[in-house]
């Protein structure tokens, strides 16, 4: 299983939110590149980079951070937050992103998201599935829909999607463990899908449990920034 630390950006700084609430923000580091280099130094190969300003504004705000991390590390960066157009998607790749994640756009502008899959390929586009009570949430989790996540994923698998990041909003930032039951449901429904879990990881044991479940990857953030998981643990994983 791939260990995928997250760097969430607000005003160019490394932050974390609790349950997607912009009012519950903690700033951990003013220099995201420094954090990214620390992960790389511990043997991490992948990074989940999210522009929270972009997710809220509907247009990417932190291009400079993406460019800096991609140009000054060898991390394979998946980037999301505020990507709403094909030009923006192309720019993310031009700046060095290995993959991009589309969440709100996959709900709100299906034709453009399908264009991304066709233009860039199913291996480079990650479907971002943000779930609240197993229903899709969008726009930085500020809006919940009535769309079932299973139906939503199935629709895009038929369109060529191979990777899904699934975040259970109720678990995110709570340090109460991952949404194991939800991921098991997804595995049963989509046995060939590359599922990347997100939200709730509190300790190294949570990552090991997801690994035993044969998840493709696991994103973690707050557990690292709060010191429950450290660089030595990651280096020795």
- Show which residues are catalytic: 8, 130
CB 172 within 8 A of CB 131: no
Compute CA distances 234 → 31, 38, 85, 101, whole Å.
Answer: 20, 11, 35, 24
Q: 136: buried, middle or exposed (CB in 10 Å: 19+, 13-18, 0-12)?
A: buried
Q: Cα–Cα distance between 230 and 198 in angstroms, integer?
A: 18
Find all residues with CB under 8 Å of 236, minimum gap 6, and list them. none
Residues sharing a CB contact under 8 Å with residue 229, sequence separation 6 or more, in sequence order: 201, 203, 204, 207, 220, 223
Partners of 166 in the beta sheet?
Answer: 129, 197
């Amino acid at each position: 299983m791939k260990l995928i630390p997250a760097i969430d950006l607000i005003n160019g700084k490394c932050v974390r939110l609790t349950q997607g609430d912009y009012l519950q923000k903690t700033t951990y580091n003013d220099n995201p590149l420094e954090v990214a280099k620390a992960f790389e130094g511990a043997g991490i190969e992948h990074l989940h980079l999210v522009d929270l300003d972009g997710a809220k504004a509907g247009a990417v705000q932190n291009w400079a951070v993406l460019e800096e991390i991609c140009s000054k590390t060898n991390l394979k960066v998946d980037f999301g937050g505020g990507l709403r157009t094909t030009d923006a998607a192309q720019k993310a790749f031009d700046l060095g992103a290995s993959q991009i994640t589309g969440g709100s756009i996959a709900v709100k502008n299906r034709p453009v998201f399908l264009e991304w899959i066709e233009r860039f390929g199913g291996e480079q586009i990650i479907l971002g599935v943000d779930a609240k009570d197993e229903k899709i949430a969008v726009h930085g989790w500020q809006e919940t829909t009535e769309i079932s996540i299973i139906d939503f994923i199935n629709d895009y698998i038929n369109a060529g999607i191979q990777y899904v990041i699934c975040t259970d909003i109720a678990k995110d930032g709570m340090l109460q463990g991952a949404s194991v039951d939800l991921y098991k449901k997804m595995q049963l429904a989509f046995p060939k899908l590359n599922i990347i879990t997100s939200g709730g990881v509190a300790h190294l044991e949570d990552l090991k449990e997801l690994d035993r479940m044969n998840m493709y990857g696991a994103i973690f953030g707050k557990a690292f920034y709060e010191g429950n998981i450290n660089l030595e643990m990651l280096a020795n994983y």
